[in-house]
A and B are shown apart, each in its own frame.
Chain A
Amino acid sequence: MWLFVTRRLAVLVLTLLVVSVFAFLIPYLSDGDPAVLVLRSRVADFQVDQAAVEALRHQLGLDRSLLAQYLGWLNAALHGDFGYSYTSRAPVIDQIGRALLVSITLAMSALGIAIVIAVPLGTAAATRPGGPIDTAATFITQTLVAIPEYWMAPMGILVFALYLGWLPSAGWDGMSSLVLPAMVLALRPLAYFTRVTRAAMIDVLQAPYITAARSRGLGMTQTVLRHGVRNGAIPVVTLFALWLAGLLGGSVVVEVIFAIPGMGRLIYEAVINKDIPVLQASFVAIVALSVLINTLADILYAVLNPMVRMAHAHA
């Protein structure tokens, strides 16, 4: 078990190092001299002075070797210093922190809604495969994955904000502004969660211990609740982690539509403004968190499932 955990952690650190190299290289990969970019974002004048560029190049340490620059950048980054945003002039790390919190809130709400609907629906579908509930659930999930969220969002705004006036149409101000975006974001994970729950539960319900429980005279509902749900939960947990990692980057489109100050919109605006420190930091933050969540999910999976644990112990 410990060998497995150490190996996964080693992979985690290695991945983060590779990611940091990529993030560091962002200004060098994009078109244009970083010094010119910085200068251009500070002064409105398009014709930048060559002497000023050289001075800034020295000031930013751009005349040092690439390796020295990388080590310097990495050292600062490890201390939480990603520099200052070109546009807002605020420390990047603060902006990222605030945006991440918003995106995590949104992602957890959306995934919460999805789980609450998908697990009962998938379980109900699995208890009688091919039955009416199963047919309906399959049809609904097929339909949901084909709905673009940038269509669902305006439709939600149209009905709940403009016609009914129940919810605000945009912004980030209290619970009520969370409802619409979370519902829109929940649709696609809802479809996948339902599908995975159904498949997992069909497998679980065929297991000998379910037959044993049934033969002891336990009712179907009791059997499912006592034995089924816990065992069927494992693949759902994995999928949840995968989706959480994916949504941390924020759903750019939904955040832009609803004017939510999360990661998605931060990245979007950084791209539009060519705000390189923000791009670097958000790239590192998103990848680091998504790798971290996946590693934790793997370890959790091994803890929950003794068979995986054993296989890795012998490997």
Chain B
Amino acid sequence: MHMPDAMAAPLFDVANRAASPPSLLRRALGFARQRHWVFSAGVVMFAIVLLMLCCAHWLTPYDPAAQSLLQRLQGPSSRHWLGTDHLGRDQLSRLLVGGHFAIIIAAVTLVLSAVIGTVIGVISARQGGFVDEITMRIVDLLISFPDVVVAIFLIALMGPGYGTLIVALTVVSWTPFARLARGLAIEINAKSYIRAAEILGCSRRFIILRHIIPNAIRPLAAMGFLRFGHKLITVGGLSFIGLGVQPPHADWAAMMASSQPYLERAPLLVICPGLAIFLTALSVTWIGQGLETKRKTAGDQA
């Protein structure tokens, strides 16, 4: 037994020990150990961000929306660790809650895109021929579209709102998943166990659900994490120009936009929220990169 397991097990593993011999946590630790260090670093960073967001309610020293015009644009002090913004709101409190909406919107968009993209990609690969040709043409077309521009067009048509935002971002972002899923499906389809299942008379649906999707899930997850960072930045971009997360909700990118005019006087107001978006995006990118790296080395060994 390895040291980290021995140390971690008594601490967290009380409930699971009897239930299943290799516990979930131990498997997770083993999984993490096989990966590049960026994977673990990403997981730790992302966990800290999520924990901070979840506990933000208890951590915030002030009400994030409470204005105090007499104390506007103050520098960092013992009372306001990161100073106050142009309306005298406590910057630290706003920073702690500012990721909620962007992260939730990015995550919902991502799950929708991944599911829709995977379904379309797998169907396209299984059908082949004309359906495949048309689908891939559409993917080729959409994949080169700037997602912010498409989102802006749809917001213009449907009016602003979180529903619009999610639909608009999903419309463009299912395409990389479709392309990847299609490639994986074709690759897996050529494997002998698929032939075996077909000879045994399994239905097409069964083969997709039982063989193709389980084998494709890890590369898709890697892609998901890599895209998550990108989505987060895109949602932020829309919030930055005022078409994303709306006030009074605090949002990192919107905070940066409203502090932009005071860039010279109070640069921290722009630097800190940007750093928060950057570190969150970096953490998920590292997770995705870690998943992907392992996949390649595993492929080499097999």
Q: Is A bound to B?
A: yes
CA–CA, A157 to B141, complex, Å?
A: 35
Residues on the B chain within 8 Å of A148, using CB: 233, 236-237, 253, 274, 277-278, 281
CA–CA, A251 to B159, complex, Å?
A: 21
Supposing A151-B278, A158-B263 touch, asked if A294 and B156 sit within 8 A by C-beta, the answer is no
Contact bitstring B225-243, A, C-beta under 8 A = 1, else 0? 0000110010011001101
Supposing A142-B286, A155-B274 touch, asked if A253 and B241 sit within 8 A by C-beta, the answer is yes
Contact bitstring A259-275, B, C-beta under 8 A = 1, else 0? 00000100110110010
CA–CA, A150 to B158, complex, Å?
A: 25
Contact A246 B144 (CB under 8 A): yes
A30 within 8 A of B: yes
Q: Which of B194-217 contact A (CB under 8 A)?
A: none
CA–CA, A267 to B243, complex, Å?
A: 13
Contact B253 A290 (CB under 8 A): no
Residues on the A chain within 8 Å of B153, using CB: 267, 271, 279, 283
B282 within 8 A of A: yes
Contact A151 B256 (CB under 8 A): yes
Q: Is the interface of A mostly helix, strand, loop or mixed?
A: helix
CA–CA, A159 to B140, complex, Å?
A: 39
Task: Kindly name the residue among A157, A158, A162, A271 whose own CB sees the greatest number of chain B CB atoms within 10 A.
Answer: A271
B49 within 8 A of A: no
Residues on the B chain within 8 Å of A268, using CB: 152, 241
Residues on the A chain within 8 Å of B141, using CB: 15, 290-291, 294
CA–CA, A242 to B141, complex, Å?
A: 10
Cβ-closest chain A residue relative to B38: A142
Residues on the A chain within 8 Å of B149, using CB: 249-250, 252, 264, 267, 286
CA–CA, A150 to B186, complex, Å?
A: 39
Contact A145 B229 (CB under 8 A): yes
Residues on the B chain within 8 Å of A256, using CB: 240-241
CA–CA, A15 to B157, complex, Å?
A: 21
CA–CA, A267 to B139, complex, Å?
A: 24
Q: Is the interface of B mostly helix, strand, loop or mixed?
A: helix
Contact A154 B144 (CB under 8 A): no
Cβ-closest chain A residue relative to B243: A271
Residues on the B chain within 8 Å of A17, using CB: none
Contact B274 A154 (CB under 8 A): yes
Residues on the A chain within 8 Å of B275, using CB: 151
Supposing A279-B153, A283-B153 touch, asked if A142 and B148 sit within 8 A by C-beta, the answer is no
Contact B237 A274 (CB under 8 A): no
Residues on the B chain within 8 Å of A151, using CB: 256, 270, 274-275, 277-278
Contact A154 B270 (CB under 8 A): yes
Contact B140 A142 (CB under 8 A): no
Residues on the A chain within 8 Å of B282, using CB: 142-143, 146
Contact A150 B256 (CB under 8 A): yes
A220 within 8 A of B: no
Task: Kindly name the residue among A147, A154, A290 whose own CB sees the greatest number of chain B CB atoms within 10 A.
Answer: A154
Residues on the B chain within 8 Å of A279, using CB: 153, 156
CA–CA, A154 to B269, complex, Å?
A: 11
A136 within 8 A of B: no
* Closest chain B CB from A182 CB (angstroms): 17
Residues on the B chain within 8 Å of A29, using CB: 157
Contact A252 B237 (CB under 8 A): yes
Contact B230 A145 (CB under 8 A): yes
Residues of B within 8 A of A (CB): 38, 137, 140-141, 143-146, 148-149, 152-153, 155-159, 229-230, 233, 236-237, 240-241, 243, 253, 256-257, 260, 263-264, 267, 270-271, 274-275, 277-278, 281-282, 285-286, 289
- The 19 listed contacts between A and B (C-beta, < 8 Å) are A15-B137, A26-B156, A30-B157, A30-B158, A142-B282, A148-B233, A148-B237, A149-B237, A150-B236, A150-B237, A150-B240, A150-B274, A151-B256, A151-B270, A158-B263, A246-B145, A253-B237, A286-B149, A290-B145
Kindly list 4 other residue pairs between chains A and B, CB separation below 8 angstroms, not including A290-B144, A294-B140.
A146-B285, A148-B253, A283-B153, A287-B145
Residues of A within 8 A of B (CB): 11, 15, 26, 29-31, 142-143, 145-151, 154-155, 157-158, 162, 242, 245-247, 249-253, 256-257, 264, 267-268, 270-271, 274, 279, 283, 286-287, 290-291, 293-294
